[in-house]
Amino acid sequence: MTLAAALIESLASSARSVSLADGDVLVEQGDAADTVYYIESGSVAASKRTPQGEVLVGTVEAGQVIGEVTVVAGGLRTATLRAIGPVVVLEFERSDFEAWLNSHPEIADSVSDEARERVDRTNVATMVAELMGSSDRQLVQQVVDRVEWRRLEAGEVLFREGDAADAAYFIVGGRVIVLADDAEGNEQLIAELGRGEVVGELGLLDRAPRSATVRAVRDTTLASFSTSTFEELVATSPAMMLNVTRGILTRVRKPTQRRFDRAASLTIAVTAPGDADAIVAEIVEEIARFGTAKHLSSARVDRVLNRTAISQAATDNVGVPRLAEFMHEADVGNDHVVLQTDREMSAWTRRALRQADRVLVVCSPNPDATERALITELFGTVDDASHVARMLAVLHPSSTDRPRRTGSLIAHWKVDDVVHVRSGSADDVARLARLASGHGYGLVLSGGGARGFAHLGVLRALRERGIPVDEVAGCSMGTVVAAGIALGLDGDELMVRAEQQFHRLLDYTLPIVSLVKGARITRNIDETFGTWDIEDLWLPFYCVSTNLTKSRLEVHRRGSTALAIRASVAIPGVLPPVPYQGDLLVDGGVLNNLPFEVMRDNSTIETIVAVDVAPDQGPRARSDYGMSVSGFQALGASLRRTKSDYPSVTSVLLRSMLTGAVRNQKASMKDGSVDLLLTLHLPGVGLLEFDRSREVAVAGYEASKPTIGHWAASRPELGAH
């Protein structure tokens, strides 16, 4: 017996009859899925909203059931249904349908494939319309009717670099990564693509060998459209070639970024050992601020599907088809899926890890042997080649003054990100949720000498508008402020500490290595950060220095915070270089004075706020002193209070360092990688005027406040913080 026949036989008496006229809407895309429909007479058209307009993706004829899988799996309606002529439908309440379905497991399993294909075809139609840049139903339907379905398990390769380009693939559910070999033959991550994306589309136009390898990050469903089929259709419809060519050219002109596609779902596997279950529910609640979020655990799956231990089913067990379709629908029907694992390596835990884009483990600050063993197994199950991120959240008691020995903790495991959370802190949980779901806010602060005190004013303006800071980074003076923020200091304390660190900065010495010894600033930095490792800071933090030995940017994410700061502020010629693992490090501003690119490549960060305080112009020639300068003449001018006639050696060195970095920075910002760029014009503030700290901070606040306010007003999610 078919689903429709069995449903009508059992529940017709409890159904509500609904009559529709031509064009009437039965359900709207995005509505809550709380009813199931049986088309008694007539037919309805299914359409989806796309950037190209509304696209007709199919019809549902009399005698068919629609909406059943979405109701069970949860999520929102994936399409709009409109009557074609007079239509009569029977409407079943969610509770009645679920109760009936649970009492007929053999029917529930049998409808899975049909339901999946219907939903998947709808999604493919949307992707085809976007690829072609056209809502022409005939063109779209020609492609959809000819696709072939393909399933990839986590880690499985779709195609390899050098393979023949024989098809384009529409990603219906799951996620893939694009990899290519660099000049040394090492495999590099190029892009990450999720639901709603197309991969290999150039193969439709060019049969040249594949230029990259594509591998599934997790279990992935694709629709394959072969080049041979494409050529057949083009022969009968030349317009298709024109539309597809335009669509592909539009896509390839977009800048490539290694950041998660925000239109696609993100699946997070979360393990909360011990008594930390409650934090998972809090994380899901916070993630839901950014779209629909589905929370699934083994117990929840068993309860919804009304099958004892169906979540633990092996692939050859009865009920697996229904479980697989349930998981698939949760993926394609929601923006985020949170899979809470068991506290052991059960079949459900392994399934969750196989489905995950990110693995988040919540642990205690001092895990016992049992907890350590589980975490080791969880992280060890993640294949390095999959590029699935491993995140560790350390849950501290509410009274914890500071994290400790995090470095020794993570030394046991391969961890990509560490987040510290205080029990009972809503702000900490919200930050963890944003980072875990890829919606984090990052703050990047530039170098600029004493002008860097303006960062403190910017921080005040950000906090007044409720703009969170989930990760912070800096260069040179920006590093000092960023580290203070990561330390958890409030605005007033930050000001005091910054003033202390740069008080009486210059301890001059015989200028063989540098103009100053660096003892004072080193001592000042140590007083605040000397006992802190970067891993122990309350906020994720990095800073940059320049490796003189290897001519590269050095990114500091681990180890001594004080050493990282001291290296980042080591102005060449002014402060001594910092020895580091046999190399010499100087100020990061030599290569990158505003290192937002590092944060851009972090999949936990969605929104980047960057603050540039470097002056537009350097010192000017106040007088024509010729091609040579006598130090005695300059000293005399200084004594006569006319020293402005001669630029100081420190200002020349500092500005020379910034010039190239500023030029490179401006060129790289053109790709829109920074969501809010604050370029602060602070007229009259010199690079070395550290005695004007509070004045400069106020200037930074006043200069940034209007822009921040206007930008924050355009971000609806900020209303919740």
Mapped onto helix, strand or coil, the DSSP state of residue 255 is: coil
Q: Which of 298, 476, 514, 693 is catalytic?
A: 476
* Residue (of 620, 595, 655) closest to 448 by Cα position: 655
* Residue (of 420, 433, 337, 339) closest to 378 by Cα position: 339
pLDDT recorded at residue 263: 42
pLDDT digits (tens, 9 = 90+) for 214-273: 999 888 889 898 888 888 877 777 777 777 777 676 665 554 444 444 445 789 999 987
pLDDT recorded at residue 53: 72
pLDDT recorded at residue 642: 52
Strand 80-93 relative to strand 16-20: parallel, antiparallel, unpaired?
antiparallel
Whether the CB-CB separation of 526 and 501 falls below 8 Å is answered with no
* Average pLDDT over every residue of 414-428: 93
Range among 470-484, 618-632, 659-673 with highest mean pLDDT value:
470-484
CA distance 697 to 460: 9
Sign of the torsion formed by the C-alpha atoms of 400, 405, 408 and 413: positive
pLDDT recorded at residue 504: 60
String of DSSP letters for 437-451: TT-EEEEEE---GGG
Whether the CB-CB separation of 336 and 355 falls below 8 Å is answered with no
Better pLDDT: 276 or 554: 554
Better pLDDT: 167 or 686: 167
Whether the CB-CB separation of 439 and 417 falls below 8 Å is answered with no
Range among 163-167, 306-310, 716-720 with highest mean pLDDT value:
163-167
Report in angstroms the alpha-carbon separations of 491 from 153, 173, 275, 680, 705. 49, 45, 35, 19, 16
When mean pLDDT is compared across 48-62, 112-126, 290-304, 707-721, the lowest value belongs to 112-126
* Average pLDDT over every residue of 493-521: 68
CA distance 660 to 572: 14
* Residue (of 546, 557, 628) closest to 588 by Cα position: 546
pLDDT recorded at residue 715: 84
Whether the CB-CB separation of 231 and 161 falls below 8 Å is answered with no
Is the pTM higher than 0.85? The answer reads no
When mean pLDDT is compared across 20-34, 247-261, 343-357, 564-578, the lowest value belongs to 247-261
How many percent of the chain have pLDDT more than 90?
36
When mean pLDDT is compared across 39-53, 82-96, 182-196, 497-511, the lowest value belongs to 497-511
Q: For residue 682, name the pLDDT band (cuts at 50, 70, 90).
A: confident
pLDDT digits (tens, 9 = 90+) for 633-671: 665 666 565 545 666 666 666 666 666 556 555 555 555
Helix residue ranges, H only, 552-615:
561-568, 596-600
Q: Cα–chain-centroid distance for residue 551?
A: 30
Tokens of 556: 């500091």
pLDDT recorded at residue 84: 94
CA distance 443 to 674: 10
When mean pLDDT is compared across 97-101, 220-224, 484-488, 709-713, the lowest value belongs to 97-101
Q: For residue 556, name the pLDDT band (cuts at 50, 70, 90).
A: very high
pLDDT recorded at residue 259: 43
pLDDT recorded at residue 262: 43
- Rg (Cα) of the chain, in Å, rounded? 30
* Average pLDDT over every residue of 192-204: 84
Q: Which of 587, 603, 673, 693 is catalytic?
A: 587
* Average pLDDT over every residue of 427-450: 93
pLDDT digits (tens, 9 = 90+) for 574-622: 788 899 999 999 999 888 999 998 898 888 999 999 999 986 655 555 5
Backbone angles phi, psi at 62, to 5 degrees: -60, 140
CA distance 193 to 477: 37
Q: How many CA atoms lie within 13 A of 656 on its CB side?
A: 11
Which amino acid makes up residue 199?
Answer: V
pLDDT recorded at residue 60: 85
The chain-wide mean pLDDT, for the chain, equals 82
Question: Does residue 297 have a pLDDT over 70?
Answer: yes
Question: Does residue 107 have a pLDDT over 70?
Answer: no
Mapped onto helix, strand or coil, the DSSP state of residue 164 is: coil
Question: Does residue 721 have a pLDDT over 50?
Answer: no
* Average pLDDT over every residue of 358-373: 92
pLDDT recorded at residue 347: 92
pLDDT recorded at residue 188: 82
Which amino acid makes up residue 607?
Answer: T
Q: How many other CB atoms sit within 10 Å of the CB of residue 81?
A: 24
Question: Does residue 380 have a pLDDT over 60?
Answer: yes
Question: Does residue 717 have a pLDDT over 80?
Answer: no
Q: For residue 708, name the pLDDT band (cuts at 50, 70, 90).
A: very high
* Average pLDDT over every residue of 299-326: 77
> How long a stretch of residues is the chain?
721
Better pLDDT: 193 or 306: 193
Range among 46-60, 102-116, 424-438, 634-648 with highest mean pLDDT value:
424-438
When mean pLDDT is compared across 138-147, 653-662, 678-687, the lowest value belongs to 653-662
pLDDT recorded at residue 398: 92
Report in angstroms the alpha-carbon separations of 615 from 449, 489, 498, 575, 685. 10, 27, 20, 21, 9
Please give the torsion angle defined by the CA atoms of residues 352, 353, 359 and 360, in that order, rounded to the nearest 10 degrees.
50
CA distance 242 to 252: 16
pLDDT digits (tens, 9 = 90+) for 526-542: 888 989 999 999 999 99
Report in angstroms the alpha-carbon separations of 526 from 497, 505, 533, 572, 679. 11, 14, 12, 21, 30
pLDDT recorded at residue 704: 95
How many percent of the chain have pLDDT more than 70?
81
Active site residue 476: yes
Better pLDDT: 500 or 369: 369
Mapped onto helix, strand or coil, the DSSP state of residue 130 is: helix
Backbone angles phi, psi at 277, to 5 degrees: -55, -40
Whether the CB-CB separation of 241 and 234 falls below 8 Å is answered with yes
Where do we find the tokens 């969610």?
A: 94
CA distance 132 to 200: 14
pLDDT recorded at residue 261: 43
* Residue (of 85, 99, 79, 70) closest to 10 by Cα position: 99
Better pLDDT: 118 or 331: 331
